Amino acid sequence: MAKQYDVLFRLLLLGDSGVGKTCLLCRFTDNEFHPSHISTIGVDFKMKTLVIDGIKVRIQIWDTAGQERYQTITKQYYRRAQGIFLVYDITSERSFQHIMKWASDVDEYAPEKVRKILVGNKSDEVDKRQVATEQGVKLAKAYGMDFFETSAFTNQNISETFTRLAEQVLAANKKDLDLLRMSVNDEINLAALEEEEGLCDSEAADRGKGCWC
């Protein structure tokens, strides 16, 4: 049977409630947009496979499914991520201001080599815009991240944004992958390897919920 993928990465969508994280995910994986998405019906994650430089990259994208409202996102969400989308809503200055808080959580809890990308969603809402494109560009530059304005509604820059982060994560893990390739001529699954190495701490296992094992 043909190999389904060469490598698996976990990506995480972060940002205030209502910025459009769930819609971005549904648009990317299913090419669907539900205008009145009921945020309580949160998906845990969705998967998609991309081919980057001939490598089949399976990405598992985690949505925060309502926890952001109560700031109960556990550090395990961060710890298991290799890439993070920091999402704000261009019609909400507040959601943009909060990016700094999300970024500092990432610095605190995520692995050091995690890759981040800044996303200003709802670019179709031209009349309601509160955050200028230049502000996004400037913030992304300050954090050393790439930046895209997206619209889950019109499909603007959706696949570009997800692909760019996947490419960056792949590049950041390329050395490990090449080493693995030399020794394992089979399915390469970084996530499975991590598990074998026991990276899931007992604290998380005890809690069960919120642990990505």
Ligand X SMILES: Nc1nc2c(ncn2[C@@H]2O[C@H](COP(=O)(O)OP(=O)(O)O)[C@@H](O)[C@H]2O)c(=O)[nH]1
**CA 28 to the chain's CA centroid:** 12
| Minimum separation from the CB atom of position 82 to ligand X (A) | 21
Q: CB-wise, 39 or 168, nearer to Mg ion?
A: 39
- Let me know if 9 is exposed, middle or buried by CB neighbors in 10 A (0-12, 13-18, 19+): buried
Strands (E), 7-54: 7-14, 45-52
Q: Is 124 in the site for ligand X (CB under 6 A)?
A: yes
> Encoding tokens for residue 123?
């670019």
Q: Which residue is nearest to ligand X (CB)?
A: 20
DSSP line for 64-129: -TTHHHHT---HHHHHT-SEEEEEEETT-HHHHHTHHHHHHHHHHHS-TT-EEEEEEE-TT-GGG-
Q: Is 83 in the site for ligand X (CB under 6 A)?
A: no
Site string for ligand X, 135-174 (x = CB under 6 A): ----------------xxx---------------------
Among 5, 10, 22, 57, binds Mg ion (CB under 5 A): 22
Of 17-25, 109-117, 141-149, 204-212, the window that binds ligand X (rule: CB under 6 A) is 17-25
Pairing state of beta strands 55-62 and 45-52? antiparallel
Q: Is 29 in the site for Mg ion (CB under 5 A)?
A: no
Residues 34-73 close enough to bind Mg ion by CB under 5 A = 39
| Minimum separation from the CB atom of position 43 to ligand X (A) | 10
Q: Is 109 in the site for ligand X (CB under 6 A)?
A: no
Of 13-21, 43-51, 178-186, 197-205, the window that binds ligand X (rule: CB under 6 A) is 13-21
* Partner from ligand X, Mg ion, none binding residue 60, C-beta < 5-8 Å depending on class: none
| Minimum separation from the CB atom of position 143 to ligand X (A) | 20
The residue assigned the tokens 């952001």 is 68
Q: Which long-range contacts (CB under 8 A, 24 or more apart) does 105-108 make?
A: 105/14, 105/73, 105/78, 106/14, 106/78, 108/78
CA distances from 118 to 33, 128, 135, 143 (A): 21, 20, 11, 9
Q: CB-wise, 82 or 151, nearer to ligand X?
A: 151
Interface residues with ligand X (CB under 6 A)? Answer: 17-23, 35-37, 39, 121-122, 124-125, 151-153
